[in-house]
């Protein structure tokens, strides 16, 4: 029989019996160690109501005390530990030399002409809802153009994103082996001898974490072996791009906090506010339905904010949640080499025509 009383349910336990008193002592002890009522109930195979009943009727709430933590006394590091620390420090320095991901780089391009930068993000090349025909056409048009460089801002491959996969498709993205994915992507990027910067996106990172294979690092190494100087910024970083006599500081990240359906450029503004207010250019990718390039002022200084969109034109995950299809106009930034002037062009096709006209080529 269950008797309801203040503070909880008795559940047939006689708390004044020998066994009941031992339970009360144990409950008091565990509360003293900071366990919650729910944790104590689980530890003692009781219900939360039973614990609450004991706490209320035995006045344990008043007796609960925090456990004080006394730090252990400091001791001298023995000589052999000092030697080990020295080796560890040198080893860490050596390992860092083999990590090609860079936080900040300086690139110098000696010219008096205008220079163009095309920003592309979220290829998701191996996904069945990516327009490879359009991608190959774009890369062919951009490849080898003088005074024009390409920035690829993360999520190059879809890389076994099993969360969004659905049954019933003839060509799901999961069918392509990892090595073949790499070969396909590397073959596409062979069309871009002017590939300047790459970053790592969420999907690229999932592959690296699951399989221990950093596809972006492998592509960058292959580009560099072919004599194409390409920078790997890891998850993001800074490029101090010196064009002729002028330096332009760019913050390039695959993603940053502050996404909004009402403002495409919130992450870029947040980046200036939170990370580095000295950047002339901020480029953020990640959101497939956000694309555009904006010339604005921040702290009375002209800035260019860039969202690069996606070549994956639609995902079922986004569709069933009401998002519009992905957009990628590949925004283009034009930089002057004699005066600090930036031109923001929404589409690379228009930017290429403007660049040719400015340089009379």
Torsion sign across C-alpha atoms 130, 132, 133, 137: positive
Express each pLDDT in 98-136 by its tens digit: 888 889 999 999 998 999 999 999 998 887 778 888 888
Q: Where are the domains of the chain?
A: 4-63, 102-359
The average pLDDT across 32-60 equals 80
Alpha-carbon radius of gyration of the chain: 30
The average pLDDT across 41-49 equals 85
CA distances from 11 to 8, 15, 49, 355 (A): 9, 11, 9, 82
Which residues touch 263 (CB under 8 Å, ≥6 apart)? none
Of 59-73, 143-157, 180-194, the poorest mean pLDDT is in 59-73
Query: Parallel, antiparallel, or unpaired: how do β-strands 332-335 and 342-345 relate?
Result: antiparallel
Whole-number pLDDT of residue 171: 47
Which residues touch 154 (CB under 8 Å, ≥6 apart)? 121, 122, 199, 200, 201, 202, 204, 254, 255, 285, 286
Residue with tokens 């007796």: 63
**Alpha-carbon span 127 to 173, nearest angstrom:** 5
Torsion sign across C-alpha atoms 90, 96, 98, 104: negative
What does residue 147 show for φ and ψ, rounded to 5 degrees?
A: 65, 20
Give the residue with greater pLDDT, 34 vs 171: 34
Whether the model pTM is above 0.75: no
Whole-number pLDDT of residue 309: 87
**Alpha-carbon span 252 to 117, nearest angstrom:** 12
Torsion sign across C-alpha atoms 106, 109, 113, 117: negative
Looking from the CA of 218 toward its CB, the CA atoms found within 13 Å total 17
**Alpha-carbon span 213 to 178, nearest angstrom:** 9
DSSP code, position 293:
E
Percent of the chain with pLDDT over 70: 83
Q: Residue 56's pLDDT band (boundaries 50, 70, 90)?
A: confident
Whole-number pLDDT of residue 179: 79
Considering the domain delimited by 102-359, tell me its CATH architecture: 4-Layer Sandwich (3.60)
The average pLDDT across 37-58 equals 83
Q: Residue 80's pLDDT band (boundaries 50, 70, 90)?
A: confident
Whole-number pLDDT of residue 321: 63
Whole-number pLDDT of residue 5: 34
**Helix (H/G/I), strand (E/B), else coil: 21:** helix
Q: N- to C-terminal Cα distance for the chain?
A: 94
**Alpha-carbon span 78 to 76, nearest angstrom:** 6
Which residues touch 260 (CB under 8 Å, ≥6 apart)? 266
Which residues touch 48 (CB under 8 Å, ≥6 apart)? 8, 37, 38, 41
């Amino acid at each position: 029989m269950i008797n309801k009383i203040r503070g909880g349910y008795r559940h047939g336990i006689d708390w004044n019996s020998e066994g009941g008193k031992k339970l009360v002592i144990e409950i008091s002890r565990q509360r003293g160690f900071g366990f919650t009522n729910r944790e104590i109930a689980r530890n003692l195979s009781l219900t939360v109501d039973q614990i609450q009943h004991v706490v209320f009727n035995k006045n344990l709430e008043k007796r609960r005390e925090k456990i004080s933590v006394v730090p252990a006394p400091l001791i001298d590091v023995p000589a052999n530990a000092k030697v080990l620390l020295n080796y560890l420090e040198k080893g860490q320095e050596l390992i860092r030399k083999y990590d090609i991901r860079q936080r900040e780089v300086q690139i110098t391009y000696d010219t008096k002409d205008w220079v163009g930068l095309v920003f592309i993000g979220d290829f998701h090349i191996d996904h069945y809802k990516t327009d490879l025909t359009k991608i190959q056409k774009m890369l062919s048009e951009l490849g080898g153009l003088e005074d024009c460089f390409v920035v690829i801002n993360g999520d190059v491959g879809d890389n076994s994103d099993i969360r969004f996969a659905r049954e019933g498709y003839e060509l799901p993205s999961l069918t392509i082996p990892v090595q073949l994915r790499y070969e396909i992507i590397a073959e596409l990027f062979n069309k871009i001898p002017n590939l300047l910067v790459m970053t790592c996106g969420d999907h690229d990172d999932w592959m690296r974490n699951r399989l221990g294979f950093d596809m972006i690092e492998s592509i960058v190494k292959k580009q560099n072996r072919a004599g194409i100087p390409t920078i790997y910024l890891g998850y993001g970083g800074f490029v101090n791009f010196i064009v002729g006599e002028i330096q332009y500081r760019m913050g390039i990240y695959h993603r940053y906090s502050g996404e909004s359906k009402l403002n495409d450029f919130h992450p870029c503004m947040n980046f200036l506010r939170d990370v580095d207010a000295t950047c002339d250019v901020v480029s953020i990718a990640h959101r497939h339905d956000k694309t555009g390039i904006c010339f604005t002022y921040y702290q009375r200084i002209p800035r260019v904010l860039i969202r690069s969109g996606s070549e994956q034109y639609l995902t079922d995950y986004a569709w069933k949640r009401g998002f519009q299809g992905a957009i990628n106009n590949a925004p283009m930034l034009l930089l002057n080499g004699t005066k600090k002037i930036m031109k923001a062009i929404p589409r690379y096709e228009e930017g290429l025509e403007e660049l040719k006209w400015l340089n009379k080529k």
